[in-house]
Chains A and B, each alone.
Chain A
Amino acid sequence: MKVNITEYLRIELDTERWECRRCDRELGAARENYKRGLLVYDRDPREIHPPLLDSRLYSRTYSPDPAWCRILEYYCPSCGTMIEVEYLPPGHPPLHDIELDIDDLKARWKKGAAAEPERQSGSELPVRKLAPAHRHRG
């Protein structure tokens, strides 16, 4: 059974592997940091947030300072989809940002309570509505 964890990542519960949701590529053990299965690139932030003010006239130009901020881009090694970005000061260890209890996840999905068909990305999500007494509107 496959469980979507982010826009680009899912966990195949049977094999306990991370997978790319765009190309189905296996990305490593679900009990490990998914980043281990990805490619990383250290971006100069000025390439993504280009200077809008003349950098000959000003040092602050709406671009982040590359000595303070770098952008780590994580790519699927197979399809090149960007799976995650991480803004960090130079040399800061990347974060282990998703560490799920795989046994708990398996138990939940085995019960079927959380089961759902694979969604198309970007589709409208069902939003559960509470009774009017609980709704606070201005």
Chain B
Amino acid sequence: MNQETLPDEQALLDRFLADNRLFLGPDPEIMRDHRVGPRSDLEQTILEKGLSPHEVHHVRGLLNAALSEAFTMCNQMGAAPGAKWGDLVSGIYTARGDLAMIAPHGIIAFAACCFYPIKFIIKNWISDPTVGVRDGDGFIHNDARYGGIHNTDQSMMMPLFYHGELVCWLSTTIHEGENGACEPGGMPAAAESKYDEGIKMSPFRIVENFQLRRDLVTFLQNSVRDPKLQLEDMKVKLHAVLRLRERVISILDRFGRDVLVGTLRTHLEDVEAEVRRRIRELPDGTTRVIQFMDSSLRENVMQKISLAITVVGDRMIMDFRGSAPQFTNRAVNTNIASFKAALCTGLLQNIWPDLPHTMAVLSPIEIVTDRNSVIDAEGEMPQAMSLMPLFKACVVWTIPMNKLNFSLPQRYSATIASQYDQAATFIYGGLTQHGDVTGNFCGDINGNGQGARSNADGEHSVSPVFGFMCDTGEHEINEEDTPIIRLGAQRLARDRIGWGKYRGGLGYEQIATVRGSAMWGFMTGCEGSKFPSAQGLFAGYSCPSYQLCKIKGVNIFDVLRDTPQAIQEFDIVRLMNERPVSGARYSSVDMGMTFEICNEGELYMICQGSGGGYGDVLERDPALVMKDLAEDLMSHEIARNIYKVVYDEETLIVDEEATRKCREDYRRERTRRGRPFNEFCQDWVRTEPPAGLPYIGSWSDPAIIYAMSGGQRVTMKADQLHGVFMPNPKDVRIAELELQLAQLQRSTGGGE
């Protein structure tokens, strides 16, 4: 700007630019700022005057109850499978759109992302004469580029006017699932651009005078595979918000505007102050962790997430620079706001679970990323399977924070290894047995095995990584609504465990088929088939790798009718190794599978995974090893080879003395085979990733990023990242086969 521009010329120019913005896209000013904003003048006046702590406490309790009621309404009435398992939220925001409180149930992540679209509405629609914000309005939104976790979640946001003044905002959000994307169920791994992701609702008004506008509702129904679901849940969210509104108005009538406004603001500021106090408690220093994601869900490609947590006084800086670049045409990107929401979740889920669930938890924490990295993706890139990096963010705290806070005399939760962090569930779509079109996902996504703790084993299939208050749902309900039949369910995945002094909690097997549908299919979206996903802590091992197993070319219902004795039990390992049905096609493939047709009676088999282990396996109490054997969680080879326990296999009686000696011998073997660190590194460390490994992200220097272009390795500067374009896996396969064919033709003397 020319320095000589006069102030009023500047104002004119600003006004012109503001009035003539071509497209109100996602606004970096909103989307890149996760902090609670400054006090408004009203908040300042109220807080200067002072509030009675008793009244604040009282109002906070009433709000909590009101939010809980709105949550329960969505939970009980919502048609989406996600609603039934608690994948939803109700929230209350300040007049400026800072999220003060969410219901004390469900998904914590919402506490750190629902405010972005409200800030967009405040910034753009209130003053826009063609839109405006009035009493009785309700706004809808689903595009995570404008805020939110991902595009399956739809929100209903409502301003609350009291005596004509906008006092606060209210919202409900449900993971609806189906959204008209290129694959059913709302999380299309096949999306190659944002235009493959289905409906993209920027925040707009869909409710006027407290009623849904039928013309817009029809448009949305027309855009998704499940029009009944779309209508029903929009009504559910609206009426839950209206109930919440009634409750808040009664609080306003009783306590007055100032107490409500003051309470919302005080709640945010108190939480921020407490977070800063906890950061100050930590020793100054830096701890680091690397996570690897081994799949784009279309092909195996190694993506690095690099994190250094630095604490200096009451500042905490999370530095993610050096992480993998974004994909131009793969769905596993996330935008930075969604990523931060997952960070907030992980902090509340694993480190400070006693803090109130509000955006103020993350507000004091500084987050540094490389723009256009897979965790800070921008532009036209798809992000429909953002769950992959988001789940990593949920567990990324566990290792470095436990290394920072182990020395503290008091902590706020157990010292815990990483929970299993994959979306290990079937996503489905097709025609139901009732003739309806549908698409969604199963509640098994919520059954992740817990990480081991410093004083106890992890719990089996305890909760999702993104919310400890969710349930895995009822298969019977699912079987009523969909043609999916569960042949194996909730059977713990034997021998698939993060070992340690304390072991991770196990995941369970899921064996699904379909019956009575004219067309049905599944997809699965998990990484970790080559490189394990859940990390152990303090020498605990990670979980193993998992994959998708299939038995195709069979109708299991015919087999069960004609030769019921053929299948002894629905156990993945036995079915795959014994191959009891002859003529069927057995395969074990990556757990990232785009939508695929499942014919009646074909089997698709996956596992929920184990959390990471804690501590040296040689320190595991032999009695706990025997307990795992008695509970059939693992086999004798593991007890002998990993835990080095000597015992009687019949009676499970441990020979304590022989075990002690066996472990002592093994410790000596370790010191014999281990090499001094520096000497080891001279041989081990390579200057760049192995030639055959498709690898993206930094290697030794976070400023240099390795990537791929047209199958060739390239490097870029971390501060100048651009997207990685992946070739179609089918084209890659065709090229491989053509090469093989040409070689074969040459060797047999044939021509082209």
> Complex: how many Å from CA A29 to CA B545?
36
The reply to whether B409 and A115 contact each other, CB–CB distance below 8 Å, is: yes
For residues 271 through 329 of chain B, which have their beta carbon under 8 Å from a beta carbon of chain A?
283-290, 292, 294, 300, 302
Chain B CB within 10 Å, residue with most, of A35, A45, A67: A45
B585 to chain A, nearest CB (A): 12
Cβ-closest chain B residue relative to A39:
B674
> Complex: how many Å from CA A71 to CA B674?
13
The reply to whether A89 and B690 contact each other, CB–CB distance below 8 Å, is: yes
B605 to chain A, nearest CB (A): 11
When distances are taken between beta carbons in the complex, the residues of chain B under 8 Å from A87 are: 292, 531-532, 535, 542
For residues 394 through 427 of chain B, which have their beta carbon under 8 Å from a beta carbon of chain A?
399-400, 402-403, 406-415
The reply to whether A7 and B469 contact each other, CB–CB distance below 8 Å, is: no
The reply to whether B545 and A60 contact each other, CB–CB distance below 8 Å, is: yes
B728, CB-defined interface residue at 8 Å: no
> Complex: how many Å from CA A51 to CA B573?
10
The reply to whether B692 and A67 contact each other, CB–CB distance below 8 Å, is: yes
For residues 527 through 578 of chain B, which have their beta carbon under 8 Å from a beta carbon of chain A?
529-532, 535-542, 544-547, 549, 573, 576-577
When distances are taken between beta carbons in the complex, the residues of chain B under 8 Å from A94 are: 677, 681, 684-685
A111, CB-defined interface residue at 8 Å: no
When distances are taken between beta carbons in the complex, the residues of chain B under 8 Å from A97 are: 287-289, 399-400, 403
When distances are taken between beta carbons in the complex, the residues of chain A under 8 Å from B667 are: 75, 79-81
The reply to whether B294 and A68 contact each other, CB–CB distance below 8 Å, is: yes
> Complex: how many Å from CA A75 to CA B105?
43
Interface residues in A, total, Cβ within 8 A: 86
B219, CB-defined interface residue at 8 Å: no
Which one of B290, B354, B588 lies within 8 Å of A129 (CB-CB)?
B354
Q: A88-118, CB under 8 A of B: which get 1 and which 0? A: 1111111111111100110010000011100
When distances are taken between beta carbons in the complex, the residues of chain B under 8 Å from A75 are: 667, 670-671, 674
Which one of A39, A45, A49, A137 lies within 8 Å of B677 (CB-CB)?
A39
Number of A-B contacts (CB under 8 A): 268
The verdict on A81 contacting B616 (CB below 8 Å), with A48-B541, A53-B573, A126-B410 known, is yes
Cβ-closest chain A residue relative to B357:
A136
For residues 89 through 104 of chain B, which have their beta carbon under 8 Å from a beta carbon of chain A?
104
Q: Please choose the segment from B44-52, B220-228, B477-485, B693-701 that sits at the chain A interface, where 4 or more of its residues have CB less than 8 A away.
A: B693-701
B76, CB-defined interface residue at 8 Å: no
Cβ-closest chain A residue relative to B310:
A99
Cβ-closest chain A residue relative to B532:
A64
> Complex: how many Å from CA A122 to CA B671?
25
B341 to chain A, nearest CB (A): 17
When distances are taken between beta carbons in the complex, the residues of chain A under 8 Å from B689 are: 89, 91-92
> Complex: how many Å from CA A98 to CA B540?
17
The reply to whether A60 and B455 contact each other, CB–CB distance below 8 Å, is: no
Give chain A's interface secondary structure class: loop
The reply to whether B693 and A68 contact each other, CB–CB distance below 8 Å, is: yes
> Complex: how many Å from CA A135 to CA B357?
10
Cβ-closest chain A residue relative to B669:
A80
When distances are taken between beta carbons in the complex, the residues of chain A under 8 Å from B41 are: none
Which one of A8, A104, A133 lies within 8 Å of B61 (CB-CB)?
A133
When distances are taken between beta carbons in the complex, the residues of chain B under 8 Å from A44 are: none
The reply to whether B354 and A134 contact each other, CB–CB distance below 8 Å, is: yes
Which one of A7, A49, A73 lies within 8 Å of B454 (CB-CB)?
A7
Cβ-closest chain A residue relative to B286:
A99
> Complex: how many Å from CA A122 to CA B537?
13
When distances are taken between beta carbons in the complex, the residues of chain B under 8 Å from A54 are: 576-577
The reply to whether B285 and A7 contact each other, CB–CB distance below 8 Å, is: no
B235, CB-defined interface residue at 8 Å: no
Cβ-closest chain A residue relative to B58:
A133
Cβ-closest chain B residue relative to A79:
B667
> Complex: how many Å from CA A129 to CA B352?
11
The reply to whether A83 and B284 contact each other, CB–CB distance below 8 Å, is: no
The reply to whether A130 and B674 contact each other, CB–CB distance below 8 Å, is: no
Cβ-closest chain B residue relative to A28:
B677
The reply to whether B284 and A138 contact each other, CB–CB distance below 8 Å, is: no
Q: B606-632, CB under 8 A of A: which get 1 and which 0? A: 000000001111110000000000000
For residues 56 through 87 of chain A, which have their beta carbon under 8 Å from a beta carbon of chain B?
57-65, 67-69, 71-85, 87
The reply to whether B406 and A4 contact each other, CB–CB distance below 8 Å, is: yes
Q: Give me 22 A-to-B residue pairs in the complex whose CB atoms sit less than 8 angstroms apart, sorted by A's number.
A: A3-B407, A40-B674, A40-B676, A40-B680, A42-B680, A50-B638, A53-B588, A57-B577, A57-B586, A65-B530, A71-B541, A80-B667, A82-B539, A82-B617, A83-B539, A104-B284, A114-B407, A116-B409, A125-B415, A126-B409, A128-B411, A128-B412
Instruction: Please list the 6 inter-chain residue pairs (A to B) with the smallest Cβ-Cβ separation, ordered nearest first.
Output: A39-B674, A80-B667, A91-B686, A100-B285, A49-B544, A104-B284
